[in-house]
A = this chain, B = another copy of it.
Amino acid sequence: MNFEEMLREELPGKIRELLEERKFHELQETLSVLEPQDIALVSERLEERDVLLLFRLLPRETASKVFVEMSPELQEALIGMFSDAKLREVLAELYIDDTVDLIEEMPAGVVKRILRNTDGESRAAINEILCYPKDSAGSIMTTEYVRLDRDLTVADAFARIRRVGVDKETVYTCYVTESDRRLIGLVTVKELLFADAEAVIGDIMTTNVIYVDTHEDKEVVAQVMGKYDFLALPVVDRGGRLVGIVTYDDAADVMRDEATEDIQKMAAIVPSEKPYLKTGVFETWRKRIPWLLVLLVSATFTGRILGHYESALGAVPLLTVFIPMLMDTGGNAGSQASVTVIRGLSLGELQLRDVLRVVWKEFRVALLCGLSLASVGLLKALFIDRADLRTAAVVCVTLALTVLLAKLVGSTLPLLAKRVGFDPAVMASPFITTIVDALSLLVYFAVASALLPALAG
């Protein structure tokens, strides 16, 4: 996209120039055609002092939207330069869930200053959200939504939306509650638009409302919203009282972050929420080294097995040549199965109780894969590696058995992990590769001992 290129390459320079020449009016015009996300993107490429200047030129509401989209580093720098009055002004325009996100990123001193400059009502809501467990529905919800009474008319409802809706993140789904805040229904603005102005909300509302508990896992929240295509999902407490809503954009962020996390875990990386280029070298190292060390040490077993069969390798040197092929194929076959199961679990397509269906399916797929690979392996051993028929047979049988073992280990281990409450993705490819490596060597030498006369004694 050329627009993105322009944003990154040309715009920062142009803005710097306009600021230097104090052409503030022209600058305001340039900024007025940009989305807040793009002004934030450009700000990351400017000096902090210039960003502060820029900030003063933006309309109050836009400035706050831009602020939300900035990196935590830039946000912290700006807060440091803001007067208390300016900080109050920016915070007043933020949605509650954005303020919570901000607070979670800032150091303790800055958090205190933020809370001191937030009005009492918002501060109570913020504290409430901060109390919910990490990764729960409560922690990602916003407490700003439009609440309606069942006895309002449609015309009343529109009047109420106009009165209270400006500050709400979404007005398109309105929630109907009893006076004790128990959720009893919802009505969308689309339904209101097509209803008679005199109709009563209690008569037109949808009463079968799908909601989640404040303590529900945010991944489940994203799954539910993805399934029903909701714009917002109500969050209720244990007493059935409505305490907030999760909006579709936050659910989309959860989906994206969870996929990234799963991918990182599959590649033996400790998950991080920061974009790659924003993560420091030392931090990247810290996310990568733990699994590398674990896997380095666990490779000892595989090495030991090889060491144990040194004499066999000495007796039939050709056996050595096939070791990488057997280990790699086992590892690949295993991670195909494990990654498929892990993704199925993440998307909610697979449940624990599907374990027998999974095993039965992987067993049949493994038979097909094992047979195909064994045939090609046989031909390769005979005609490319010039092995004798017996050695080729050893390779061929080992391939088939290894693939079978690898697929079964690969598909069941993530399910087992989930069953005992571990993260299935952590059980993924690299770990399974290590196990399958060891298994394939054991199978190899067992088959070789059985079939090769040179090793029989």
Contacts and interface: CB of A to CB of B under 8 A. Distances in A.
A297 B263 contact: no
Interface stretch (A71-79, A114-122, A179-187, A284-292): A284-292
A241 interface: no
A324 B325 contact: no
A179 B429 CA distance: 57
A295 interface: yes
A193 B162 contact: yes
A321 B296 contact: no
Contacts of A300: 325, 380, 384-385
A286 to B, nearest CB: 9
A334 to B, nearest CB: 10
Interface in A134-167: 158, 161-162, 165-166
B281 A368 contact: yes
Work out how many copies of this chain go into the complex.
2
A252 interface: yes
Interface in A279-319: 281-282, 284-285, 288-289, 291-293, 295-297, 299-300, 302-304, 306-307, 310, 313-314, 317-318
A329 interface: yes
B165 A288 contact: no
Q: Which of A35, A37, A321, A354: most chain B CB closer than 10 A?
A: A321
Interface residues of A, number: 111
Contacts of A229: 249, 252
Contacts of A297: 376, 380
A361 interface: yes
Nearest to A350: B276
A238 to B, nearest CB: 15
A322 interface: yes
A328 interface: yes
Interface stretch (A20-28, A44-52, A340-348): A340-348
A194 B165 contact: yes
Nearest to A251: B252
Contact of A321 (B289, B306, B321, B350): B306
B324 A313 contact: no
Interface string A171-196: 11000000000000000011001100
Contacts of A268: 332, 335-336
Interface string A370-400: 0011001100100011000000000000000
B264 A339 contact: yes
A349 interface: yes
A390 B35 CA distance: 62
Nearest to A324: B302
A336 B267 contact: yes
Interface of A: 1, 32-35, 37, 158, 161-162, 165-166, 171-172, 189-190, 193-194, 208, 210, 220, 226-229, 231, 248-249, 252-253, 255-256, 259-260, 262-264, 266-269, 275-277, 281-282, 284-285, 288-289, 291-293, 295-297, 299-300, 302-304, 306-307, 310, 313-314, 317-318, 320-325, 327-329, 331-333, 335-336, 338-341, 343-344, 347, 349-350, 354, 357-358, 361, 364-365, 368-369, 372-373, 376-377, 380, 384-385, 403, 429-430, 433-434, 437
Given A35-B210, A256-B259, 7 more contacts: A35-B208, A162-B193, A166-B194, A226-B253, A252-B252, A276-B340, A296-B377
20 contacts: A189-B189, A226-B256, A256-B347, A276-B349, A277-B344, A281-B361, A285-B372, A288-B365, A289-B369, A289-B372, A292-B333, A292-B373, A299-B325, A299-B329, A300-B384, A304-B321, A306-B323, A310-B317, A320-B320, A332-B430
